[in-house]
Structure 1
Amino acid sequence: MRVVELPLGATEDRVVGSINIEKALKEGMKSLEPGILADANRNILYVDEINLLDDNLVDVLLDAAAYGINTVEREGISLTHPSNFILVGTMNPAEGELRPQLSDRIGLQISVASIMDIDDRVKIMERREAFEKDPYSFREKFQEYQDQILENIIQARELLDKVEVSEDMMKVIAHLCVDMGVDGHRADIAILKASKTLAAYYKHNAVENIDVEEAAALVLGERFQKKSLDQDKIKKQIQNAVNEISQENKEDDKKKPQVK
């Protein structure tokens, strides 16, 4: 798997691809001139300044992401090819918002803020200096840490199918999304999948509240204004959902006929 970049300002033909009309007319053959979406098949499609994409390119990405295929139509000739990719985008929110339709298709969203702690900023400069002086020794210094992360990911892949999600935990996720005013169901499913992945990484046999808490922060991301979404609010909403479900379960138990 490799990274294919969609550069800012790319034309629709460059992204979608085109059909060799001359070859079609002379030889009667449909010949595809592949674009970025063909190159991105089974790879990672990286879009910088994704919030500044032209609306027509956003629509093209949405269609390809939804169906896993790209259709090229020119002069009455139509061709389709697979375009199944992982979409990764970066943006500066100060330069414009991401279209809701595209935001909803992006499963995990991460906000990055400037580091204001002086000691941490000094550490960044020191590490940069160390890397430039001796890149090989720098990599060697962190190799054990990187290898441990890799090992954790490999083990998580093996455990993923064994991770259980209780109905109550699914209710917690549903309650959270409803309480946060989420439209549609993609966020619910994304939180469920991310929660299972995190549980596998942390070697939990079943999804726990802490897994949902971390997953929700990643999934909901820019769907809400930063001021209205933080870890404490998510934690509180999850606890409220847990309490509500617990109360519902108690009431259901009371309604069940007593066996004497």
Structure 2
Amino acid sequence: MTDLPIKRSFKDDFGVEIMFYEWPVAQPKAVIQIAHGLGEHARRYDAMAAMLNKAGFSVYADDHRGHGQTGLRQFENKQIKRLGNLGPGGMKATYKQVADFSKLIKSENPNRPLVLLGHSWGSFIAQKVINKYSDMYDAVILSGSALTMPGYLATGDFNKVWKKLPGSTGYEWLSRDVDVQNKFVEDPLTFLALAMQVFGVKNSLQLFGTPSKEIRRDLPILVQVGEADPIGGEYSNKALVEAYRKNAGIDDIELFVYHECRHEIYNELNKEAIIDDLVTWVNQRVSK
């Protein structure tokens, strides 16, 4: 039996080798593509992928440009301190890289529904990708997201609410689970930085925008957010849902807000219930 995940790669339009991981199951009900957040990498989703496998879904996840094994391979000197540097083409090339990864997944899984799941920065990438390529996806899930417009997207110290706690790790904003916080600190491939610091002004400004009128109207969208998420939270995600309804005319869009949960809801103390909500939602819409 092959050990999971299976590690593979492809070259993007600029020749950057994009490392990705596959957790396949036989005869999947659907395929879920995970787009990770800023300062993390695909292998942080191992546990979630195992739960999705158990529910009958195959899972794919890449290390975006400048992140994880992709980031290390981009720089021949393997300098971890350069993680976050997106490389040639910047943010727009990153959007295209994620869309091209979707095309690869679809080519390997013909006639299987494809669900794009974006977390945090990955959810902002997903928003941009479906503005242009909504026909590729059977459903979209946005986690830890926000309406990417001024006034709706937090900047500054994400941990300011918790930083005065005795023994603060500095990462309480991620999850109530202290083990998750400690593992983030210990992981050499994770880092904390604001988008402007890592990506620069030009690339960061490309994160902003609203849902396009070109998104197909029958695309189901699930938005999941922690009540205590400092990046967008309930306020910003309600605005995001309304923007999809108003701009794109999408009717099948739901917002789930999780009491007391923080930014990484799939790493929360009640993660099983949250992932169960995701599985139920997908089963009701795209599973075959």
Fold shared per TM-score above 0.5? no
**Greater strand share, structure number:** 2
**Greater helix share, structure number:** 1
| Structure with the larger RCO, 1 or 2 (CA within 8 Å, 6+ apart) | 2
Provide the TM-score with structure 1 as the length reference. Answer: 0.27
Provide the TM-score with structure 2 as the length reference. Answer: 0.25
